[in-house]
């Protein structure tokens, strides 16, 4: 199975008003927009598109694809009843890669 490529950075506002950044793609952003509509999160907005395919991005992308079952707008069950899972970023190479992508895009 091919990995979903991650190519954008979004800012997610939780229902308690706190915010976090996520490296995502347009399909996952669509799931996030549905999660907003369903009241699972308060807001999502895209901050950066077309991320460079750096080693850091690829490492984070591999971790996300191997760790999470990614919902998709092409699966009717996902968009009829979207779940919202905030992706963990474990300390070490995954968190370092995540931070490197944000820094390279002047976010954070």
DSSP per residue over 9-56, as a string?
EEEEE-TTS-EEEEEE-HHHHHHHHHHHHTTSSSEEEEEEES----HH
* 3 occurs within a structural domain: no
* 66 occurs within a structural domain: yes
Q: pLDDT digit string (tens) for 81-98?
A: 777 899 999 999 999 999
Q: Is the pTM of this model over 0.75?
A: yes
Q: pLDDT digit string (tens) for 19-62?
A: 999 999 998 999 899 999 999 999 999 999 999 999 999 999 99
Q: pLDDT digit string (tens) for 17-28?
A: 999 999 999 989
* 17 occurs within a structural domain: yes
* Total domains in the fold of the chain: 1
* 31 occurs within a structural domain: yes
Rounded alpha-carbon distances, angstroms, from residue 91 to 23, 28, 58, 94, 101:
16, 23, 17, 7, 15
Domain ranges, residue 34: 8-105
* 51 occurs within a structural domain: yes
């Amino acid at each position: 199975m091919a990995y979903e490529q991650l190519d954008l950075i979004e800012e997610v506002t939780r229902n308690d008003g706190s915010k976090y950044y996520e490296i995502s793609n347009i399909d996952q952003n669509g799931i996030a927009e549905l999660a907003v509509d369903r009241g699972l999160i308060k807001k999502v907005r895209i901050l950066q598109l077309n991320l460079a395919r750096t080693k850091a991005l690829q490492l984070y992308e591999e971790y996300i694809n191997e760790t999470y079952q990614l919902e998709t707008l092409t699966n009717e069950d996902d968009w009829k009843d979207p779940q919202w899972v905030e992706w963990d970023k474990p300390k070490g190479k995954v968190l370092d890669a995540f931070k490197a992508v944000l820094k390279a895009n002047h976010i954070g």
